């Protein structure tokens, strides 16, 4: 992979996912070479359904990325692209399968139908945020799959709850049950999975654990939602930029997640 490709990936993440950009900058430079292409892929896929009102065009955009993953999986004729080219250097066949599932889940973003049920919503977050975390951790080092998926799912729920006002403004139905008690239960389930993952820290080596820096705000956000679910609809989850950066620095220095 070229330095220019990596710079382009970093720029895409910085503009499209500033929190993951900050988390990646807290990691070792070698880890950044892995995480920036992966997170740039995620930015491109996640915004593909939103850049057009034409469902067919959105479907085609997602299919483009599925085709790129198939080329990486086959190992033959991978297209030249500032994200795909460095991505091909870090993915194995299993990773491409996980990311293909992520893309398929993202098709929900194209349409305005509500989730079928709570299980559908939870599966969506497990396949998107959970799958992304799994690929990142495995690309960096040794990590139990269940741990990575639990941390990723918790991050997915926290980010989803913070995005509720924007999703509703876009005429989407992001929650199956928006009652305060249901929102608190949703957040509690994610927090329980994060806590379960932390009980298995010994199954994650230090290198792989750098992927978990992206989840540095999760515990705080979920606890806020549990204590006062109204903060979700009010867009009042999270902390100040200063508080976020201090929290990230502390976790990175300690190497804890």
Render pLDDT for 206-217 as a digit per residue (tens, 0 to 9): 999 999 999 999
* pLDDT for 56: 95
* pLDDT for 250: 78
Q: Identify the structural domains of the chain with CATH numbers, from first to last.
A: 1-111 (no CATH), 112-257 (1.10.600.10)
pLDDT < 50 stretches in the chain = none
Render pLDDT for 64-103 as a digit per residue (tens, 0 to 9): 999 999 999 998 889 999 999 999 999 999 999 999 999 9
Render pLDDT for 16-25 as a digit per residue (tens, 0 to 9): 999 999 999 9
In the chain, at which residue ranges do the beta strands (DSSP E only) sit? none
Contact by Cβ (8 Å): 206, 255: yes
HSE (side-chain half, CA atoms, 13 Å) at 163: 15
* 8 Cβ contact partners less than 8 Å away, ≥ 6 residues apart: 40, 82, 83
* pLDDT for 257: 73
For Cα atoms 35, 148, 16, give the angle at the middle one, nearest 5 degrees.
35
Cα(193)–Cα(142) distance, rounded to whole angstroms?
20
* pLDDT for 177: 97
């Amino acid at each position: 992979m070229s330095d220019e490709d990596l710079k382009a990936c970093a720029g895409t993440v910085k503009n499209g996912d500033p929190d993951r950009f900050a988390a990646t900058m807290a990691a070792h430079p070698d880890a950044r070479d892995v995480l920036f292409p992966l997170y740039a892929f995620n930015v491109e896929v996640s915004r593909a359904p939103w850049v057009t009102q034409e469902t067919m065009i959105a479907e085609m955009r997602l299919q483009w990325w599925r085709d790129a993953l198939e080329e990486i999986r086959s190992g033959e004729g991978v297209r030249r692209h500032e994200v795909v080219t460095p991505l091909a250097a870090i993915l194995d066949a299993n990773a491409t399968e996980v990311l293909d599932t992520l893309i398929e889940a993202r098709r929900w973003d194209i349409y305005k139908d509500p989730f079928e049920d709570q299980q559908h919503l939870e599966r969506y977050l497990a396949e998107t945020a959970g799958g992304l975390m799994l690929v990142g951790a495995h690309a960096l080092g040794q990590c139990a799959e269940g741990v990575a998926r639990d941390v990723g799912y918790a991050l997915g729920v926290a980010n989803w709850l913070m995005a509720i006002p924007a999703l509703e403004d876009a005429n989407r139905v992001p929650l199956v049950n928006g009652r305060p008690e249901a929102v608190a239960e949703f957040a509690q389930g994610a927090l329980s999975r994060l806590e379960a993952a932390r009980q298995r820290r010994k199954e994650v080596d230090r290198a792989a654990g750098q992927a978990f820096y992206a989840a540095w705000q999760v515990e705080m956000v979920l606890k806020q939602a549990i204590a006062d679910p109204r903060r979700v609809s009010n867009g009042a989850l999270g902390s100040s930029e200063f508080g976020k950066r201090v929290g990230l620095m502390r976790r990175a220095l300690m190497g804890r997640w």
